[in-house]
Amino acid sequence: MPILDKKDVSKGEFGTADRWTLVSSDNGADSLTVADLVLEPGAIVPVHVHPKEEAMVIVEGELEAILGDQIITVSEWQTVLAPPGVRHGFKNTSGSVARVMAIHPTAHVQRTLVD
């Protein structure tokens, strides 16, 4: 069983959020992707959809979550569960840093940006 360390992963971006893919096919996963996203004040994760569900755990701060046609304020230790094909995204309007753990039941995440 490998032990994975965030410091060994390159930082990427999704929208204007910083993103670290902690678990994926790149490091041996067969059916799981886990990403750590940090949203500075004003940052966004653009609205998108996936063919599989996604669970997003808010581990720090407060965000506006877009889920379907709703905009909902979410905070620490709440989880946004986006069913397959349902549009979702985030905006940090709180003035403080927020952090999200995104969990996908696939090692090969497919996403499509939507309006």
Confidence (pLDDT) at 80: 98
CA distances, 62 to each of 15, 16, 26, 100, 107 (Å): 18, 16, 30, 10, 28
Task: Report CA 115 to chain centroid distance, whole Å.
Answer: 17
- Domains within the chain, CATH numbers bracketed: 12-108 (2.60.120.10)
**Is residue 115 over pLDDT 90?**
no
Residue 1 has pLDDT above 80, yes or no: no
At 17-76, the pLDDT tens digits run 999 999 999 999 999 999 999 999 999 999 999 999 999 999 999 999 999 999 999 999
pTM of the model: 0.94
pLDDT at 30: 95
